[in-house]
Amino acid sequence: MKQTTKTMIRPMLYALLAAVFYAINTPVSKLLLTHVPPTMMAAFLYLGAGLGVGLMYLPKYGKEAPTERITRNDIPYTIGMIVLDILAPIFLMLGIKYGSASDASLLGNFEIVATSLIALLFFREKVSGRLWMSIGLITISSMLLSLDGGSGLQLSIGSLFVLMATMCWGLENNCTRAISEKSTYEIVLLKGVFSGGGSFLIALLRGEEVPHFMYLVSAMLLGFVAYGLSIFLYVRAQRDLGAAKTSAYYAVAPFIGALLSFAVLKEELTVRYLIAALIMIAGTILTVLDTLVRSHAHKHTHTYHVMRGGVMQTVTIEHSHAHNHYVHGEKHGHHHSIEELEASVTSHMHSGR
C-alpha cells in the first residue's frame, strides 16, 4: 500500500518521541544522582523499564507466535545481553556522576564505533568506506570529549566510564541482534527485571543505601520513559518507516540530550565541546547515510501463493528488513508467517537499551 505524507506523520512523531524520551535520560539522571547512588540508580532505571513494559505486555501475553518467544537456543545470547546490561548502565551512571551530562550525551555515539568494530572482529560483518569515515570522526570527537577541561592532556574519569558503557552496549547490541526476531516486549522485560535486579544486588553489596521512596519512584519512571517507552515507540515507528529511516530520526537523541544538559543543568559550553560536537555531527550523518544506503540495497520481494476464499492468489510483497542501527549482516535467511506477509511488517528491536 502506498504511504502518503499524512500517514507517515504518526510514525515520524513516534521515532522523534523515542529519541526525545531516551535523550532525557542523561540530564535527568544527573539531577537524580545527587540523591541516588549510581549503581542503585542504574538498577531502578532498568527495573522501571522492565516493569512498565511488562504491564504493557500483559494484554499480548500468550497471543504471540511460538517463534517470537525466547527458546533454549537463545539462552547464551540472553545471558550475555543481561550481564552486559548490568555493567553498561552502572558505568554510564558513574560517568554522568563524575563528568558532565553534555559530554556523556555526545559520547553515547561511541556505541556506533563499538558495535561496528565488534561486528567486524567477531561476526565478520563488512564495514563500508563511509562507515569507516564515520568511525574515524566519532573516535576523534570522543577523544576531544574525553580530555579533562583543565591544563594538559589528562583524561576525564567521567568520560572514560561513559566510553566503557558504550563498549558494553556495543557488545550487547551484537548479542541482542541474535535474538532480535523475538518478542520486543519479552526482551525488554528480561532486560529490565534481570539486569535491574542484578544491579540492585551489586548496589547492596557495595553498601549503597536504598533511596527515599520519592527518588526511587522518580528513577523508575525515568527508566520506563527513557528506556521502556522509547523502545516501544521506536518499534512502532519502525513498522511504517523501516529500520533505516527510524534510526535516522533516532540519531538526534544524543544532540537533544546535550541541548537539554546545557538548558537544564547550565553546563559550560566550551570551544573544545563545540569542535567535538561538529565532528560528531559529521560522523553521525555519515552513519545515517550508510544505514539508508544499506537498507535501500536490501529491499527485495517475496512472491507467495495464498489460498483466500477457496481461490489461489499470488501475493508479491516488497519490503526492507529492520536490523541493528549501525551494521547489517550479509546473510539473510528467515521465514514469514502469512500474518506477517499480509501486514508487510518485519520489526526488530533497536540497538542498545
What are the tens digits of pLDDT across the range 302-317?
443 343 343 333 344 4
Q: What pLDDT is recorded for position 181?
A: 76
Percent share of the chain, pLDDT over 90: 49
Q: What is the pLDDT of residues 223-263, one digit of tens each?
A: 999 999 998 888 788 878 877 788 888 889 999 999 999 99
- Are 158 and 30 in contact by the 8 Å Cβ rule? The answer is no
What average pLDDT does the segment 130-153 reach? 84
DSSP class of 167: H
What average pLDDT does the segment 17-36 reach? 95
CA 139 remoteness from chain centre? 19
Cα–Cα distance, 132 to 126 (Å, whole number) = 10
Q: What pLDDT is recorded for position 69?
A: 78
What average pLDDT does the segment 261-267 reach? 93
Beta bridge partners of 101: none
Residue closest to 346 by CA, chosen among 305, 314, 300: 300
Over 70: is that where the pLDDT of 33 sits? yes
Cell 553498561 locates to: 88
Phi, psi of 41 (to 5 degrees): -65, -45
Over 70: is that where the pLDDT of 342 sits? no
Q: What letters, b where the CB count within 10 A reaches 16 and e where it falls short, cover 176-200?
A: bbbbbbbbbbbbbbbbbbbbbbbbb
Q: What pLDDT is recorded for position 209?
A: 93
What does the DSSP assignment read for 197-237?
HHHHHHHHHTTPPPPPHHHHHHHHHHHIIIIIIHHHHHHHH
Banded pLDDT at 24 (limits 50, 70, 90): very high
Instruction: Supply the Cα-derived Rg of the chain in whole angstroms.
Output: 20
Banded pLDDT at 339 (limits 50, 70, 90): very low
Cα–Cα distance, 349 to 233 (Å, whole number) = 10
Mean pLDDT for all residues in the chain: 80
Q: Between 18 and 313, whose confidence is greater?
A: 18
Q: What pLDDT is recorded for position 347?
A: 37
Beta bridge partners of 304: 315
Cell 550479509 locates to: 330
- Are 303 and 316 in contact by the 8 Å Cβ rule? The answer is yes
Over 80: is that where the pLDDT of 189 sits? yes
Q: What is the pLDDT of residues 39-97, one digit of tens each?
A: 999 999 999 999 998 888 777 766 666 667 788 888 999 999 999 999 999 999 999 99
Name, in order, each residue with C-beta under 8 angstroms of 17's C-beta and a sequence gap of 6 or more: 233
Banded pLDDT at 291 (limits 50, 70, 90): confident
Q: What pLDDT is recorded for position 307?
A: 38
**Which whole-number Å values give the CA distances from 331 to 73, 124, 177, 183, in the listed order?**
19, 11, 13, 21
